[in-house]
Amino acid sequence: MRYYIADPHFFHGNLNTKMDYRGFADVEEMNAYMLQRWNEKVRKNDEVVILGDLSWGKAEETNELLGKLNGRLYLIQGNHDRFLKNKDYNASRFVWIKPYEELQDNKRKVILCHYPIICYNGQYRLDGNGNPKVYMLYGHVHDTYDQRLIEQFQEITRGSIRKNPDGEKRAIPSNMINCFCMYSDYTPLTLDEWIRCDRKRRENYVRTVLCR
């Protein structure tokens, strides 16, 4: 089984108390909860693709964390993964570390980057039933105003009609999913689980806005 998650920010106290307002008593409680949620879902031989910003901790702290996390780990490098610059971190825990990757996931392609790519490779590709064949998974923006702007762009894109070379008119696909850890209660999810999570979150957001 392969799972994805973005921006856990283990050891990053400021994200708990300021930017994300995660609500934990302290960074120790935050780390313990995220570790618990991770290991409740992930088994030893499962794959987990981390879409950046795994840890704000020092090399020694991050090594200890990596020893506790279940699964075979893959890291898309984030701007806050400062432990990567320290030669003492345990690189052997990662199958690979890359800034960008494209993988196959149950006959679909996933575009993987810490940063959202609005015009991603394969964006227009659909199967014979009109279902997406490519998804862009990202992190970085957390649940911020930048994420709201991305959602606005997606709505505009999906509402835009273009003519195919064969003359058929279709709406432009935009299948970008923010795999922000707080959206899944800090649990790594499969691609299909993220698709459902993203759809439900957006529907709830629309209902909230309309009810104001």
Element holding 110 (H helix, E strand): strand 108-113
Q: Tell me: pLDDT of 41 over 50.
A: yes
The tally of domains found in the chain comes to 1
pLDDT digits over 93-148, tens only?
Answer: 999 999 999 999 999 999 999 999 999 999 999 998 889 999 999 999 999 999 99
Structure confidence at residue 42 as a pLDDT band (50, 70, 90): very high
3-state helix, strand, coil in the chain (%, to 5): 35, 25, 40
Residue 84 sits in which domain range?
2-210
What size, in residues, is the chain?
212
Other C-beta atoms lying within 10 Å of the C-beta of residue 148: 12
Q: Which residues contact 207 (CB under 8 A, 6 or more apart)?
A: none
CATH number of the domain that 24 lies in?
A: 3.60.21.10
* Token output for 210: 């309309």
Pairing of strands 169-171, 161-163: antiparallel
Identify how many contiguous H helices and E strands the chain contains and give both numbers. Answer: 5, 10
210 pLDDT tier (thresholds 50, 70, 90): very low
* Global confidence as pTM: 0.94
Residue 48 near residue 103 (C-beta atoms within 8 A):
no
- Position 104, amino acid: Q
Q: Tell me the average pLDDT across 176-193.
A: 98
Q: Listing from the earlier edge strand, what are the strands of the sheet with 176-178?
A: 100-105, 108-113, 134-138, 176-178
Q: What is the DSSP string of 138-204?
A: E-SSTTSHHHHHHHHHHHHHHT-EEE-TTS-EEEPP--EEE-BGGGGTT--B-HHHHHHHHHHHHHH
Distance of CA 16 to the CA centre of its chain: 18
